[in-house]
A = this chain, B = another copy of it.
């Protein structure tokens, strides 16, 4: 609930005070552009009906009042009165302190390491996730928070990994197909299709846009070795930054290059940094893959030795057992990783058995949207 509003700076701003004495200022043009009335926003779909050019450049606040705890504003020169709910204003207040930390971690994202995660790997049963929205919500929420989760009890039939995608989104088809086989092959066009160990990596960094989620599902696993492991790239990047801020700065300031040309009809190339930050410094994505890393041609000559030292140290930390969470997939088990954050690895395998996994890609927009919609529905139901 608001308790007071003052019009300030000749009507260019208002200053609001809530019942708990929280204060925030807003600009007239910002309020006008974000007005919630049905001439500004479509009541049906919430989309804005006007453009910024429909708003007079000299928009100001002629009058403002607290009405039933909410804000009522009359804009000049339009002479248009609009009401803004107190809670909406509080949620969208931009008059606040900001972190200046490079690589700050977004709200609701919790970095982890072996100690905090090995014995609390998020997992759900496929059947429960299918039938109980609360279970699905928990599982999707784990992906948002930790960047990975395990799913048990998937049918052990080819292609069933796509059923996990159906719970929240859409398969991202690529040159590898809607899904692809991960098993040892003769003459593989990708080292993933051998029995070699694979260093912890993100998948397909040579693709832009990179697939933001990956699922790996197990159909058969009777080999010796071949365990899967995951590493939180955000946690490792922050560890690198703590011990050497300059190393973190170099890996986030210069693009790396990635390339894949496994068959004659594919020449995938990208140019993105190993540690991607938003313009406001937020940690956005990790790209790390020794197999497809192409020559670094964007790093200035003078910075190259320090850049390579940073890359080496980042790799060492990624291999450090204190960050690694390991598990062996059994048939009917799958795991999902946020491919912009969590690296996955597999141990070398051998023996007389078979290791047959299938993999596919999908995207975070669908997952986060489905999760937000479930959260909203359940909140409304609870209210």
Interface residues of A (CB under 8 A from B): 12, 25, 27, 29-30, 33-34, 42, 44-53, 57, 92-96, 98, 170-175, 187-191, 199, 206-210, 212, 252-255, 259-262, 264-273, 276-280, 282, 290-293, 295-301, 304-305, 308, 311-312, 315-316, 319, 363-366, 368-370, 372-373, 376-377
Contacts and interface: CB of A to CB of B under 8 A. Distances in A.
Most central of A259, A268, A276, A279 by chain B CB within 10 Å: A279
Nearest to A291: B47
A44 B279 contact: no
Give the number of copies in the complex.
2
Given A46-B262, A254-B280, 11 more contacts: A29-B304, A42-B191, A45-B189, A46-B260, A47-B190, A48-B290, A208-B212, A254-B279, A269-B368, A271-B282, A276-B279
B301 A188 contact: no
Nearest to A32: B308
Nearest to A59: B308
Contacts of A30: 295-296, 304, 308
A63 B292 CA distance: 28
Q: When A and B form their complex, which 3 residue pairs have the shortest distance between CB atoms, in order from nearest?
A: A209-B209, A267-B372, A170-B173
A78 to B, nearest CB: 16
Contacts of A301: 25, 27, 94-96
A108 B305 CA distance: 30
B27 A175 contact: no
Contacts of A175: 170, 366, 369
A137 to B, nearest CB: 13
B297 A94 contact: yes
Most central of A52, A265, A271, A311 by chain B CB within 10 Å: A52
Contacts of A173: 170-171, 173
9 contacts: A12-B305, A48-B291, A52-B308, A53-B312, A53-B319, A172-B172, A175-B369, A208-B212, A268-B368
Nearest to A31: B295
Nearest to A198: B51
B199 A51 contact: yes
Contact of A363 (B12, B191, B209, B308): B209
